[in-house]
Each structure stands twice: as structure tokens, then as C-alpha cells.
Structure 1
Amino acid sequence: MSLELSPRAIEIAEHTKVLLAAGGYNGFSYADLSERVRIGKPSIHHHFPSKAELVQTVVTLHRQQTREGLAALDSQITDPLARLSAYTAYWSKCIREGSAPICICAMLAAELPMIPQGIAVEVSGYFKDLTSWIAAVLAEGAAKGQFKLTESPAVEAQAFLSTVHGAMLTARASKNPEAFESISRAAIGRLKAA
């Protein structure tokens, strides 16, 4: 899938990301998107002939942006503990400000059995990418004596990722952004070596 998008297609994708965070794949229609972007449904179909193609593009972009963001953390923050804290701080800020109240891939993962296969592949790839990055950070931190892992870095990464994404749901359900912060802080605390 080509990711060379026109400015209008990028605008459509950005609004779609907001709608996905609000209600997942089945939580919006092209009519909802048309109202947000203020263009007709035929114009949306011109850029994205199907909803599946649109959402797959959005998830592919999200995955690409996440990989770039994680690479930036790797290059800017040499300390593994600080890097993991920076990752959760990013989401804390997004949740607190409402700019990204939940990861769209977390929303879509809940719908995995019911969404088109191409989207499901991208969502699974997102989690694989993120788990690999967290595992590498944990392994590096364990080698430096910052983290005490009771399981393999891969298993610890899955547990941490599950906790962080669960914290997003807790913050949403309780309408309390601070819940995410306290849960993610506790998750990092459990990994820290004494």
C-alpha cells in the first residue's frame, strides 16, 4: 500500500484516527467522517475507495509514526529506565490533553475478529513492533542493573504492554487521566531493581 497521500487524504486520515480512538472500526461511518472533514462522501471515496482501505492506511501510518517515535527515544535517551518512562509519559500527556485518549491499535485489537484481514495484520504488526522495542529496552536495562526481570524480556515486555494498554482503558472508564499515570508508574516500579 502506497503511503504517498495528498494533503486532503492526510486530513481525512487524521480525522479517521480520532474517530477510531473514540469508537473503533465499527464506531464510525463515512457520513461521520464527511461531517468532520466537511466534504462529501464521494470525495472521501475518491481518496479511499473503501473503509477497510482507509483504516488500513491510518493504522499503517500510526505504526510507521510509532516506529519513528521509538527510534527517536532510542537516539535521544541512552538510559533504558528513562526511555521506558518517556514512552509512558508520552501517553500520559496524550490522555491528559485528550489528543489521543487511547491507542487506536488497542481499540482495534478488541475488534480483531471482526475487522478486515489487512487491518488485523497491521494491528498485530504494531503490537509485535512495540513488544520487541520494550523487550530490547528491558534487556538493556537488566544488563545495566536497572531492571530485575523474573521472566524473559519478551514475556516481561508483553506484561508491561498489557498493563499500559489496560491503564488506558482504566483511565477512559474512570474518566481519570491520573489513573494511567499511577498504573504505568507502578508497572515501571515493579520492573526496577532494588
Structure 2
Amino acid sequence: MSETSTSGLSRLEKTLFRLEAQHACLAYAFDAIAALPGPVVEFGLGLGRTFDHLRRHLPDREIFVFDRVNKAYPDCQPDPAHLLLGEIEETLPPLALGLAGRVVLANADLGSFDRESNRAVAAMCARLLPPLLAPGGLIMSDLPLALEGFETVKLPPGAREGRYYLYRRPVSS
């Protein structure tokens, strides 16, 4: 079985490889944005594990979290002022102007095992995230995104191809 192949993998293996890739990409991102001022955006709170990791490693950053509902563990709850519940396409616009061109890291973890839903979610992320990103800012996603004007970043060691994706807004575009 090749590392880049998804056929023949169990759902457990797919989840494990995605989490390994996400962890490696987050470590890479923390170093890459260290010198860049600006907030962080997370699309998809889920159970709050990634949010908890973000706030522990980026304690001085504002982290805005968007999801339909809050199902996070009690110890993984965002500050209510930074948690925006509802459809992202409705909850982001009121903040978009204030975040435009300032976000240094955006993590979109909204994928599922439904191909049609993933296509729609990827298109939404590709439309909504780019205007938020600062020069040099990174977008991480569990889905491949078609981002015009962004560079695809080579995955760091420990991240298997096809499990997570990294993109950077060039410093000069």
C-alpha cells in the first residue's frame, strides 16, 4: 500500500493519517507565522481539539472560530466573543472587513466522507478565506482548495500527501 493512496485504507487509518498530517502542518505553521502579527481563523470547531492546540501554541493571538454548532469539550471552549455559530457564509461577513488582509493562519477542517459536500465546502473556503489572509499568511485545509494567487506549500515531514494541504499568500503579489 503506497502512502499517497487512499484506496484500501480503513477509516481509522484515514483519520490517523489526517491527524498526523494536521499536527505536522500546525507545527510548521507555528514557526512560519511566528514573526507575522495578526489573528488566526478556524473554520470548524468540532470537538475543540484543534482550537485547544492553537490556543496553547499561540497564546497571544486572537483566534476566531466558526462552526454551525458548539460541540466542543468543556475544556476546549473558545471565548464566546470569538466563537461565531451558524452558517459560515452568514457569520463571517460582519467580521470580514475587520479581518481583511490581517489573518496569518486560517485552518479549515470541514471535510467529510461526502464528496458532494466536500466540493461545496472547498469552493466556499476558496472564496471566503483568501480576502482575509495577510501577505505571508497560511491556509491549512483538510480539503484541496483552488486558490488563485496562492502558493502550494510542500508538506512538512510527518504529513502524508493527500491528508492535509498548505497554501501561502505570497509576500509580494
Taking structure 2 as the reference length, what is the TM-score of the superposition?
Answer: 0.34
More helix as a share of residues? 1
Larger relative contact order (Cα-Cα within 8 Å, sequence gap ≥ 6)? 2
Relative to the length of structure 1, the TM-score reads 0.31
Q: Which structure is larger by alpha-carbon Rg, 1 or 2?
A: 1
